Amino acid sequence: MAFAPSPIPSRTQYVLEAIKHGILTGGLSPGQPLVETELAARFGVSKTPVREALKTLAGTGLVVMSQFKGVTVRTVDAAMAHEVYDVRLLLEPEALRRSLTRRASLEPAREALVKADEAADRAERSLANREFHRALYLPCGNPLLARMLDEVRDQAALVSTVAWAAVPSWEQEAGEHREILRLALAGDAEGAARALHDHIASFVQRAFPEGDHA
């Protein structure tokens, strides 16, 4: 008999989501130390759920654990940005192509675009943009491919948070999202995949032009 994995305790989940929200909205800056005792006091919990939350965040690439520096918010530089976006460029257009070949519903993607247009702040817009991209690759028919893209979602969001703080380019990206969806709704799998590739590539090149994307 197979046993399901134990769920993350509620206190750990609460701390995890709170720290992640702080990182992805810019409330916690790249390179900022994350001290267990301070976080435990802030959230009114013991150090144990904080420690477990930080371990999980290290696994998703949002924080870095060092023997000498302790735990810090991951720093975003050109090398890190291009590394994350390389994975997206390799996998995401193919996942979209497969989703369209399977005639998957595009309604979740359409709903995510509406949410992005109606977003009250940068954090809501970023979340809606993540939902849009996920709605395109999730129904690709290959759970492993979808999981691999899920694993870089948080790091991609961190890159965009840092990039938007320097160059607010969400209006251009919103237009590119609409064009990707238009091609997808028209059944043009190759055109939509090409537009998605160009969208991902242009963002990272615009935000981190000094990066070597060899």
Kindly state the average pLDDT of the residues 196-201. 97
Return the pLDDT at 213: 43
For residue 195, what are its two tokens? 């537009």
Residues 62 and 188: their CA atoms lie apart, in Å, by 35
CATH 1.20.120.530 residue ranges in the chain?
Answer: 78-207
Kindly state the average pLDDT of the residues 140-163. 92
Q: Which residue has the higher pLDDT, 71 or 67?
A: 71
Least confident of 27-41, 88-102, 131-145, 153-167: 153-167
- Check whether 5 has a pLDDT greater than 60: no
Q: Which residue has the higher pLDDT, 196 or 1?
A: 196
* Number of residues that make up the chain: 214
Return the pLDDT at 41: 95
Cα–Cα distances (Å) from 109 to 30, 34, 178, 189, in that order, read: 30, 35, 10, 15
Average pLDDT in the chain? 90
Q: How many CB atoms lie within 10 A of CB 7?
A: 8
Query: CB of 169 within 8 A of CB of 126?
Result: no
Return the pLDDT at 210: 61
Q: What is the pLDDT confidence band of residue 3, given thresholds at 50, 70 and 90?
A: very low
DSSP designation for 76? P
Share of the chain above pLDDT 70, in %: 93
Return the pLDDT at 165: 75
CATH number of the 10-73 domain: 1.10.10.10
pTM strictly above 0.85: no
Return the pLDDT at 89: 97
CATH 1.10.10.10 residue ranges in the chain?
Answer: 10-73
Q: Which residue has the higher pLDDT, 130 or 195?
A: 195
Using CB atoms within 10 Å of the CB of residue 214, give its burial: 0 to 12 exposed, 13 to 18 middle, 19+ buried: exposed
Query: CB of 166 within 8 A of CB of 210?
Result: no
CATH number of the 78-207 domain: 1.20.120.530
Kindly state the average pLDDT of the residues 115-137. 88
**For the chain, how far is it from start to end, CA to CA, in angstroms?**
48
Q: What is the pLDDT confidence band of residue 126, given thresholds at 50, 70 and 90?
A: confident
Q: Which residue has the higher pLDDT, 88 or 26?
A: 88
Query: CB of 19 within 8 A of CB of 27?
Result: no
Return the pLDDT at 119: 84
